[in-house]
Structure 1
Amino acid sequence: MSQGAEDRIGLRERKKRATRVTLSQATIRLCIEHGWGKVTVEDIATAADVSVRTFRNYFSSKAEAIAAGHLERMLRIADELRARPAAEPLWDSLTHAVLAQFAPADAPDRQAAHDRRWSEGLRLMLAEPALQGEVVKANAAAQDALAEAVAARTGTDAAHDVYPKLVAAVVSAGSAVAVEHCLKAESPSPLAPVLTEVFERLAAGLPVP
C-alpha cells in the first residue's frame, strides 16, 4: 500500500487489518497444502503465532477467514485508488491499484504461485460449499467499499448513482476472470500481463476482438 493510502487509515485499524491478513493468509496456505477437511482452527492459530481466542475474535470459521482475504485486498485497492493522482484517468488509476495488490512489481518470485499442485489446491479450496457463501458476502462488502472510492474520485454518489457501483462490480469481475484464467492455464501464466490486458479491454469499452 502506498504511503498516501496508509495515511488515511489509523494505526489501530492498520494493526487490526494486518492481523486479519495474517490469519487469512495462514488459513489459505494450510487449506491449500493439506486440504480443507484436515485443517483446524488450532492449526491456523499455531501457524499465525496467535491464540485460538484471537482467531475467534476475528473470524467465526475457516471460510470467513479465507473470504476476508478477498475483502482486504479490495479494501487496499480502494485505498490505493484514493491515493492515486487526481488528474490521472480513472481506469489508469484502477489498473495501477489492482496490479499493486494482485501482482506487485516488488514482490518476490514465489514458486508456489506457479506450482501446478498449488493451483490445483487453490481450485479445490475455492470449490468448497462452505466457502462460497462467505465469498459472496465478502464480495458484496468489497464492491461497496470500492464503489465509495470510485464515487469520491468521480464526484458521483455511491448510494444513489449507478456508475460507481457498476465500476466496482466490473473491477471485481475483471480481476476474478484474470485470476481464474491463470489458474486454469495449461502452463504457468503470470498474473500481471493478464490483469493488464483485462483492464485495457475494459478501459476501451470491451471492443470486439
Structure 2
Amino acid sequence: MESSVGLRERKKEATRQAVHEATLRLTVEHGFDHVTVEAVADAAGISRRTFSNYFTGKEDALLHGEEQQIRDLVRTVRDRPAEETAWAALRAAMTQFAERVAPPEREWALRTRLAMQHPSLLARQLANHAALERDLAEAVASRRSPSQKSVRPLVLAAAFLSSLRIAMRMWIEEDLAREPAEVIDEILDEMACRFD
C-alpha cells in the first residue's frame, strides 16, 4: 500500500513539475499576459480540468518551483545541528540548499523579473515570502527551549529573507555578472554583524 501511495505522489509531483515547466517555457516564448491556462494544459499534455486539480491559476503554476524551494529551505533549517546559532543555521542551510539545487540563474532571474512587471505574480510571490518568513521564524524558534519566548526568531527570519531579496535584486540588476552565491554571501556578511 505504501509503495502505491509513494508512486502516486511521485506521479502527482511529476505532473506539477511538467505544468510548471510548460508555464515557464510559454511565458518566455509569449509573455505572461499572453499565456492561457488552456495553452499550458495543452503544452503539459493534460486537460484543463486536470490543471485545475493541481493549480488555481497560471501564477501558481509559474511559481511552483519557488514554493518547492521554500519548503526545502525550511526543512534544511530545521535539520541543522542544534548547537548552531540561529543565524549560523540559516546561513548554513542556505549554503546546503544551494549545493543541492541546480544553479538558479535562468529561472530565478525570470521569475523575479516577471514578478516585478506583473502585479498578480508579485502578489502571489509576496504571499509565498510571507509564508516562508513565518515558517522560518517557527524553525528558528524551535531551536530554543519553549520557555524562551522572544521576538528574535521573527526578526532573524525577516532579516535573512530581506538579505536574500536584496541579493537577488542586486544580482539581476548586475545582469547576472556574478554567481548568485557570491552576491548572497556579500549581503549575508553585511547582516551577520547584527546576528552572529
TM-score (norm 1): 0.72
User: 3-state SS of the aligned residue for 1:181?
Assistant: helix
Q: 1:199 to 1:31 in 2, by over 3 A?
A: same
Note the 1:76-87 alignment, pairs <5 A: 76-87=72-83
Once the two structures are aligned, what percentage of the paired residues are identical? 32
Pairing 1:134–2:130 present: no
**Quick one: higher RCO (CA 8 Å, sep 6+), 1 or 2?**
1
Per-residue deviation, 1:141: 1.6
Q: 1:141 to 1:20 in 2, by over 3 A?
A: farther
**Which ranges in structure 2 are unaligned for 5 or more consecutive residues?**
none
* 2:137/2:156 contact within 8 Å kept: yes
After superposition, what is the alpha-carbon deviation per residue over 1:45-78, rounded to whole angstroms, capped at 9, x for unaligned?
3444444323212222112333444333222111
Q: 2:28 aligns with which of 28, 32, 43?
A: 32
After superposition, what is the alpha-carbon deviation per residue over 1:82-105, rounded to whole angstroms, capped at 9, x for unaligned?
11122233222211322344x336
Note the 1:1-209 alignment, pairs <5 A: 15=10, 20-101=16-97, 103-104=98-99, 107=102, 113=105, 119=109, 123-155=113-145, 161-186=150-175, 188-205=177-194
Give the CA RMSD over aligned residues.
3.4
Per-residue deviation, 1:162: 1.6
Q: Aligned partner of 2:177: which letter?
A: P
Q: Aligned partner of 2:166: which letter?
A: V
User: 3-state SS of the aligned residue for 1:153?
Assistant: coil
Q: 1:197 to 1:50 in 2, by over 3 A?
A: farther
Q: Larger Cα Rg: Structure 1 or Structure 2?
A: 2
17-26 vs 83-92, which moves further = 17-26
